[in-house]
Amino acid sequence: FEGDSVLSPSGQLVISRIAGGADGGALGYSLRRVQYEPFGDNYNINIDQQVGTFCFSGAKANISYDERFFVTHHHDGEKSDIILVDLTDGSQYQITNMPPGSRALFPHFRSDGWFYFLIREGDKEYVVASDLAVQKLQANGG
């Protein structure tokens, strides 16, 4: 029951949402290693090796260029918030705390570790950026 799969920038990992919750909702995420070998003019692709499972619901994920983090948005009633996850230890960081009727949506990493996302409040939209992934790397000597 995995879908909404996204390849990492190197193509060596794939993250997918796991379905099966109430009304077909998401249960979490599966992170798998992508292995491939040439086969004539094509490739045999194997994603059998699961390297992580994250048990919280959210939208399609986006993996950082260094493949250390993923970011997504999570709907909770009449609001949505951005969640950053450290792939090395599973730590989750809630980036936003939106009021009801407002949504933080569609986070996407830049190559320098910052990520952008959209804020929707009524009929207004804003683009916002966060450097929390960069701060976490610097705090850990990375």
Model confidence over 18-54: pLDDT tens digits? 988 777 677 899 999 999 999 999 999 999 999 999 9
pLDDT of residue 142: 62
Output the average pLDDT for the chain: 93
Distance CA 62, CA 4 (A): 11
Question: Model confidence over 51-84: pLDDT tens digits?
Answer: 999 999 899 999 999 999 999 999 988 999 999 9
- Going from the C-alpha of 54 to that of each of 37, 92, 122, 131, 133, the distances in angstroms are 28, 10, 31, 22, 18
**What's the pTM value of the predicted model, to 2 decimals?**
0.89
Cα 54 from Cα 91, distance rounded (Å): 10
pLDDT for the residue numbered 12? 96
Nearest to 121 by CA among 91, 88, 99, 139: 99
